[in-house]
Chains A and B, each alone.
Chain A
């Protein structure tokens, strides 16, 4: 039986038929958790559930900060450069610095400059 928005009434959590009330697929989360280290042995059933909500919050925060960069550049399209700028500007996102700079365009010195 489908339980729409069961405990996501307070906090937004989208509904997907296959993943239940969680917005993100638990099996996928579990898979990524296991991949993080060879030493990860067992994961409680609740851990992916916490992550499904946490990832939502994370995406929201990253998106919000990236969008601020987009607006700063007076644009309406959120680009990867905006994400990179947001990461650099935020302490908690330090762990992402390498990831966002990996595919940075070589001649790109100012991330928020709009390319003509």
Chain B
């Protein structure tokens, strides 16, 4: 997973590979970028687009089984996606420049999408981003702390209620499709950790707005 603020090295590499007409696609190869067939071509046109196989897969998932897709339609949509990314990025970038910030953040992207009319994407995207952030924080946090131990750490007198499982979303806890990992996305223990941390900060226990124990993230804070 690419982390980070697009380090200097990365920036230079990307610029080189996209502008230099004569340099072979060493960078693409070394990044192991999907092993696209076009890895040998300089100034690879396909680099400007999402891989067509991915695009087709998403389309087919949506269309009825009997539907056929003409090749020119596939290519057109492929091009439209790139145009979409550029369109949104330009708007997000403008905002960063106006506010004298150097890094385009996820919030900038969301803001730009909303501004340019893609309001109906906001909810699923915000949800997706929140899940991702939670997943990342769990992935990098200390694992394996049992529920009981946390109770002892944060107990502030006997009156502090122990949250019932009702505070965590109900999810299969054992191995299940897509949840093979024991410390899966919705690890109740980790969510309880968040819950306790919120409580420590003085938020009303149990009726906190962060019902699901997510770190506070107001997706619409910038839209107000």
Interface residues of A (CB under 8 A from B): 1, 3-7, 9-12, 14, 16, 18-20, 23-37, 39-51, 53-60, 62-64, 66-67, 70, 76-80, 82-84, 87, 91-92, 95-96, 99-100, 103
B125 partner residues in chain A, CB cutoff 8 A: 50, 53-54, 57
Bound complex: CA of A70 vs CA of B128, how far in Å? 31
Interface residues of chain A: helix, strand, loop or mixed (majority): helix
Q: How far is the CB of A84 from chain B (nearest CB, A)?
A: 8
A64 partner residues in chain B, CB cutoff 8 A: 62
B26 partner residues in chain A, CB cutoff 8 A: none
Interface residues of B (CB under 8 A from A): 1-6, 11, 14-15, 18, 31-35, 47-51, 54-55, 57-59, 61-63, 66-70, 72-73, 75-77, 79-90, 92-93, 97, 102-106, 108-110, 113, 116-118, 121, 124-125, 127-129, 131-135, 177-181, 184-185
B93 and A58 contact, CB distance less than 8 A: no
Q: Can you add 11 more A-B contacts, CB < 8 Å, to A10-B131, A24-B54?
A: A4-B178, A23-B57, A31-B18, A42-B5, A43-B5, A50-B110, A50-B125, A76-B67, A80-B72, A95-B87, A95-B116
B184 partner residues in chain A, CB cutoff 8 A: 6
